[in-house]
Structure 1
């Protein structure tokens, strides 16, 4: 019995050791990808933050913003969601947190939904639950170019302008640091100028050529494209950070399990040796 138990423990040790090697290697790969993604994210944030702030500043300081872009001027029975998840698993609660937030937002809105799914995990989840998937982008988020974000956002902008949807909502994971990420939900359209307390109002007059409407019809799509691309880059950074942390935790758990299995193996081995000694002593006593 002890011998069989020892064989089972040895097989278990071999299996856990193999898993530990895999998770450790995946941790190193994710750490390398995180460094590259973080560098791209920091450069992108520095540039896009300036652009989005400048555009937001214009929106909040001009009284002639076309009414179609302002809160309260669109009524439709459908809302558009751009939901960014990953294409791979093994990244802890990264995907489930985004999906839970999206479900909560959809439930709270109480309207029909049309979804642009970036990443396979979100697409698969919402397809199974009968939501309308307008389009899908199943390449890894870090591989999506700025040009492709135009194809992601333009259909929703057209649907918003035509009155088919009343909102364009972006749901993604925001990067705080390598240890912490947070799911964010941003309404890209319409703009809620009155409640935007972070923007400083300026007493100035600005003239637009050829017209205010023409300028805003150009700025709004650019603003949405920039926000979507920034969210995709940030989400990719969060994915690698979450996967690195998940693989680190898995590696630590595997090593702890190996320590416990080694202890059990040594106890079983000691018990087997003790049984053999008892048998030898009993046999010698019987021969006297």
Structure 2
């Protein structure tokens, strides 16, 4: 059997191994399974699709190999259950990865809530729904249902957004945060329920202006991508935009930046345009991306992106002063 590890995971000898249930074993579910197995936990998975067991094992092996994580935990720690109820029956932590349709997630999470031990934390990988929406049909312990949203590609990118509901206890929040930290993730706590959580909203703000600039003919799609990937995107991979802004203020830090550059920044922010994704704009964006990526193999692009991600993540570990 192939084996998997995570460079940032807390050794299982220093923390108790968890029984983790993975519900839904597509690409996101397989990424979660890889991370938990890498950290030395046992994983019980369920997915009703035909052939899901075999596909999951293959995907976990592929993800483990891609992340160069191959020294401690074998796939023998992965079990595929015949039903959702059996998968979660002894779980300490449940990660739900069903289709991004509210009624489907509500039904699945209600079933998980009914079958899982009351002490288990239940997290959903939803990219946009709030926990109060997700737990609407749960009756046993709906407050222990939180959002645990990863970032694509989820087997490589450390970010996880944890979003509790108003009924979630501090203990459940901390257990979710600590569970993710212990498998090498970098969780953030989102203190309000908002559509799209945080990272997707930040992306949406940038996409909005990018779409607007393309729509108005200010710049090409390719030049938008160059402007970010060869400009601020390089810095954002090292430090977040606010910490980076502070460094640009020199000895005066963020105060100097806001005092001296805040007024023109406000002018720029107030000039940002709303857009509507009508057919004309969609065609501009699609044709622009097609032109930018013409004669480039998407499989090669994805592989090179993921290889560079691993190198960037390794560099971030190397320079310990970076937050």
TM-score by length of 1: 0.24
TM-score by length of 2: 0.22
Instruction: From the CA coordinates, give the structure whose radius of gyration is larger.
Output: 1
The answer to which structure, 1 or 2, has the higher relative contact order (CA under 8 A, 6+ apart) is 1
The structure with more helix, counted as a fraction of residues: 1
